[in-house]
Amino acid sequence: MYLMVIAFFVLIKCTFILKTKDYLCLLINEIHKPINIELKFENIESNNIVNNILYIVQFIYNITLYVDLGGCNMLKKIITVLSCAAILASPISAVTMNAKTLPLFKGAEGCGALAGTNLTTTTYHVTNLNDSGKGSLRDAVNEPNRTIVFDVAGTINLKSELAFKSNLIINGQTAPKGGITVTGESSSFNKSQNDVIRYIRFREGVTGGEQKCSLYIDNAKNIMVDHVSIEFGKWDNLHMENSSDVTIQYSIIADGIHSQYSGAILQECDNLSIHHCLWADNRTRNPKAKSNLQFANNIIYNWEVCGFVGGHSSEDHYQDLLSNYFISGNKSSSTFIGECTSSDHIYNSNNYFDGNKDGVLNGRLITNNDISKAQATVQASPYVIPIVPITLQDPTQAYNTVLNEAGDSLNRDSEDLSVIGKLKSLGK
């Protein structure tokens, strides 16, 4: 019987449209071509076999799957269709793959790429810009297990720290034109797990607490920060401590207020990926890496005292520097990597430094001798191995990607446009 079913699907091109209670749940236009599938199942006692099948099809056909487990009396037929397509097109070894390794969205990479996966959430609509109360962002993030969307755009002025619970998916890209800015006080992912936050601007500003940062990610696990701007911190823009399995990607960390620090401090974190971010106009700490860190395809611009800062700790830390571009601005010293000790183990691969401030991107390769001069220990191989590898670019390509994508690139406001504009000057 099963052989007959397989033969049937091999011989014909087919389109299946199956409807559930709420919406169209499956569309396959041609069984041997890449497809997009949206599934909703109800009342399934065990979803392990479904997850395995979805995983196989995802990787064989390069498709995007949106899965909402609920009920569908056509389950056996769906599994048959997907099984036939997957098994006929793939080696047997593919069948052992596990759906849990799929990121929540396309482009999620690094150590925190699996944040937000396998969650059951309810949708909360942010309908106003109030500091608190029904429909506010504070009310939205005050309970776990939510997917948060925005029906409004504008600036939210905080009167106290904004604390995020666990299992939250915050989709700032759903806001209308202009996007969302959070200002006035710090925002914090403290002891949070499985949070994803995208396309929002965090700017503490001068009204925030003394020695406070714009964004905290402390004692947290499985966090994805994507297309976010983190600016105007009174101490550092970003503070991370005792956290693990975190990715910060396609973001802007810039214009810290503090005259001594202002970039970011990464303290005793493990499995941390920061890639395709713009670090601009911070006095130093771009970042200070007292952690085990994968730092890839970042653009570091116009530091004053120092660009990348080592942990200079009594404990060993491992920092993998991969295809970054350090570009001097009009305030920059010549110290693009510094304040290291032998406890900082730096793996250096294809990083560049442009220090001539001539308005042209024409830097030189950073050598292991540069790392040694910074008093760090040269590491022979990368230390951090993320669960989803970063798609590395050449540093010049990364520069262009960061120009186009860093921060809330869907709604860049005057501040972020200014940061990008200064970077384009390349120090001239």
Q: Which residues contact 191 (CB under 8 A, 6 or more apart)?
A: 166, 218, 219, 220
Neighbours of 301 (CB within 10 A): 29
Give yes or no: 285 in active site.
yes
Distance CA(325)–CA(315), nearest Å, equals 27
Instruction: Give the H or E element holding residue 189.
Output: strand 187-190
Q: Which helix (H) or strand (E) holds 194?
A: strand 193-198
Is-contact 224 196, C-beta < 8 A?
Answer: yes
Residue 408 is given by DSSP the state: T
The SS3 assignment for 215 reads: strand
- Would you mind telling me the total number of residues written for the chain in this entry? 428
Q: Which of 146, 203, 285, 412 is catalytic?
A: 285
Q: What is the DSSP string of 261-326?
A: -EEEEEES-EEEEEES-EEES-SB-TTEEES-EEEES-EEE--SS-SEEE---SS-EEEEEES-EE
The span from the CA of 235 to the CA of 262, in Å, is 6
The span from the CA of 387 to the CA of 126, in Å, is 32
End-to-end CA distance of the chain: 73
Q: At what angle do helices 2-11 and 75-89 cross, to 10 degrees?
A: 70
The answer to whether the beta carbons of residues 141 and 149 sit under 8 Å apart is no
CB 38 within 8 A of CB 66: yes
Catalytic site positions = 285
